[in-house]
Every structure is written in structure tokens, then in C-alpha cells.
Amino acid sequence: MVSWNHHVNAAAIGVGIDMNRRELTFRVYHPSDTARNLGVCANFTFSLSDSPELFYKAALTGNNGPGSELSPDELVTEDGFYYPRDASRIFFCRLESTVSGFANDKYGRTPYGEHKAYILGTKGEGVYIGRENPYLDAMVHASRYHIVTDEGLRDEIRRKVIDILKDEKGGLADRIILHVEGDVT
């Protein structure tokens, strides 16, 4: 998901897509750049991609820092919307409603917004990756690492990520593992 306000923010977010109703549903956890941006600007894009590298940038870099996870040359601007150049399919959206709540799980209690958005338009029809991809699956787990304070739970996440990536070698696998080994924040 790409949102904008003070800066362009990319975030890896799971979304329910209902093309019959032209609607997206999704949850954004607080505090986050995405939550702040959606509170100011109702427009955003949601993209599907076959690039694990793009997912890595959205999921495991930035972490609410001052800059964007994607550089200007990695973004396309179209009719006031931003989306990743490497996207296979893009959904141009406008936020319709938000309901606040709290998620409680073994990692703790976290506030969130449950959002519904209208799909204004789409572009592209390319292939995309899902949780069956080991890089993507490992990054979903690794994205929780920096918010968990309990060392036992951090060890559990670390073991899970390393196990998922045990057959993957080099570049991206190494960077994901570094994220959960505490060398990258």
C-alpha cells in the first residue's frame, strides 16, 4: 500500500478485495506512517507484485522513519496517485470508513483502524506472489520482530524466519535473517 502526506509511505498490508462491490477491506496498526497518512489523505494505492524485493522494502525498511521506503525512481505518479514501478496490478482507492479497535495476541495489545475503501480504478493484470513464497512468508513474520519486546517471543520469530528460509541462499534471504538477528532495525 502506498499512502502520502508528509512523505510517500509504502507498507506491506494484507487486503481483502471484493471486485463486485469495488471495495477493499484492511487493517492498519497504530502508530504508523500509513495510519497518519490515511488520517489526512483518503486516497492511496494498493498494488500486487511478483517482486519479493518490493515487499521487503515495504515490510522491513522504514519503520515509521522520516523518509520513504521507495525512492522517487521506484515510484510512478499518475493523476495524483503514487504506486511502485514494479507493481503488477494497481488499485486506485479512496478511504470510505474506519472503525477503531484493539488487537490482542501473544505479542501484546495494539490499536488499529479497520478500514473500508472504494476502488476508483485498476491498472495492470500481471502475476503476483503470495504467502506460498518463502521470502514473503518469512517477511510477514519478521515484520513483527521490531514491535515485540518479550525476548522469548523474539526468539520464536527468529527461529520461524530462519526455518522458513533454510533452503534459500544469498541476498534477500540474508537481509531478512539479519532483520531478526537484531543487526537491522
Judged against a pLDDT cut of 50, whether residue 25 lies above it is answered with yes
Kindly report the pTM of this predicted structure.
0.87
Can you tell me the distance from the alpha carbon of 96 to that of 114, in angstroms, rounded to the nearest whole number? 11
Neighbours of 2 (CB within 10 A): 25
| Three-state DSSP class for residue 144 | coil
Judged against a pLDDT cut of 70, whether residue 50 lies above it is answered with yes
Report which of 82, 74, 66 is spatially closest to residue 7, judged by C-alpha positions: 66
Span 118-162, pLDDT tens digits: 999 999 988 888 878 999 999 988 988 887 888 898 999 999 999
Report which of 59, 52, 63, 57 is spatially closest to residue 14, judged by C-alpha positions: 59
**Are 1 and 15 in contact, with CB atoms under 8 Å apart?**
yes
As given in the structure block, the three cell numbers for residue 63 are 519503520
DSSP 39-52: HH--EEEEEE-S-H
Can you tell me the distance from the alpha carbon of 132 to that of 21, in angstroms, rounded to the nearest whole number? 27
